[in-house]
Structure 1
Amino acid sequence: MSELLANDLITPDAGETPLLSLPSVSILKAAPMTRLSLRCREAAQKEAGTAFGASLPLSPLSNSTSAKRAALWMGPDEWTLLAPEEDLRAVFDGIEEKLSTHPHALVDISDRSEAIIVSGDKAAWLLNTGVFIDFSLEVFPVGTVTRTLFHKSPVMIWRTGADTFVVEAWVSFMDYVAGLLVQSAKELEAA
């Protein structure tokens, strides 16, 4: 996965102030984007990827990117598809048309979820205050994506750079997730 492609798609929201800005870690709200949840069988996977503009990854914890597109593996027959906010209608209609003869479920979840970008030398440390996953580069390399829990909130974490993570949560949980990260960072600042 190219770090450049992910950074081209997932950018900080220019209208928002940073949630946290320390020398060793920052938390920025990501700009709104198109988010689709796709479930389909093996027979439709290639066509779905073609219609979307990025192939669907078939390996657990992986992703596939192309210019302005990211397909994230969520399960054996489930993907989260990311694209620029303005591409929603074209992407949705294109996939629906291509898969019209295949059983599938395509749902617009753009308003359900939002993302923050956690980056810096202490980004993995900060995430480990609420997630018990080994975020070392050897175990969780750039491009790895997983669903997990941050304290009690379901989140999706995608490593887009050596010290950069995208954390996505439902809108109703994001204040909780971001608030706990900022609170934990105060411990880091005091250390």
Structure 2
Amino acid sequence: MADGISAVQDRLIPGRSGPSGATGVRIAEIRPFALIQFAAWHDTLAQTAGEAAMAAGAKVAPGPGRTATGALGVLLRVEPLKWWLVGDAGEVLLPVAGSGAVLDLSRSRTRLHISGPQAARLLNHVLPLDLSAAAFPEGSVASTAFHHVGVTLWRDRDGFTLFLPRSFAASLFEILTASATQYGLEIA
């Protein structure tokens, strides 16, 4: 699949801004990437979970708000009846729908990686979540709201991955970067 045009391309200007000193926040867009959604019905939950785990190459599908890493990508439990398989573009193939519904969402989201010592603090400006390591440890995922827009946040070992709906990505990116400047922002 060809790589689409970035929703934040004209705003993604590499460099550093903010007060001199250490960089507190780093923001990078990750692209291209594959994003496959598995949706179950209540009576097919266990079977769809197994199909999602198999597609990811994971032993089991994660429980609510958690992730599981497999040979083909990371499986995120984004909602009670939904999983997202996140992987490298071209390596994750759209599986045939089994007991649930399977949908390619790769072009519907902008994927930002936010890291640095002030990343959680920055995200707490715009997300109604407790992002302390005790409340939202590595491997956690949450569907939440950013300025009334539904977004998904995942904490990995290097920071946070934020999935923004493509149609709102540019405006949300502007809000995020404007707030991050106070901490010393580096855009990669």
Give the TM-score range, shorter chain: 0.7 to 0.9
Give the aligned partner of residue 44 of structure 1.
48
Give the aligned partner of residue 76 of structure 1.
80
Distance 2:165 2:50 in 1: 28
After superposition, the C-alpha distances for 1:103-148 in whole angstroms (9 at most, x for unaligned) are x110111111120110000000110111121111011001100010
Distance 2:145 2:16 in 1: 21
Q: Normalising by structure 1, what TM-score? A: 0.78
After superposition, the C-alpha distances for 1:133-183 in whole angstroms (9 at most, x for unaligned) are 11110110011000101122211100012x610001111111122111111
Give the aligned partner of residue 178 of structure 1.
173
Give the aligned partner of residue 115 of structure 2.
119
- Deviation of the 1:56 alpha carbon: 5.1
Whichever residue aligns with residue 138 of structure 1, its letter is A
After superposition, the C-alpha distances for 1:43-97 in whole angstroms (9 at most, x for unaligned) are 3322342233224534211011123411100222211111211124xx21xx317
* RCO comparison, higher one (Cα < 8 Å, 6+): 2
Distance 1:185 1:176 in 2: 14
Change (3 A) 1:75 1:128: same
Whichever residue aligns with residue 79 of structure 1, its letter is W
CA RMSD in angstroms, aligned pairs only? 2.2
Distance 1:80 1:126 in 2: 25
- Aligned to 1:57, which of 57, 61, 73? 61
Contact 2:76 2:141 in 1 (8 A): yes
Length, aligned pairs only: 166
Alignment of 1:135-146 (within 5 A): 135-146=131-142
1:33 aligns with 2:33: yes
Whichever residue aligns with residue 172 of structure 2, its letter is V
Look up the SS of the partner of 1:166 in the other structure.
Answer: strand
Look up the SS of the partner of 1:124 in the other structure.
Answer: helix
What percentage of residue pairs aligned between the two structures are identical?
Answer: 28
Distance 1:176 1:113 in 2: 14
Distance 2:27 2:88 in 1: 21
Change (3 A) 1:50 1:17: same
- Structure 2 gaps, min length 5: 1-8
Look up the SS of the partner of 1:23 in the other structure.
Answer: coil
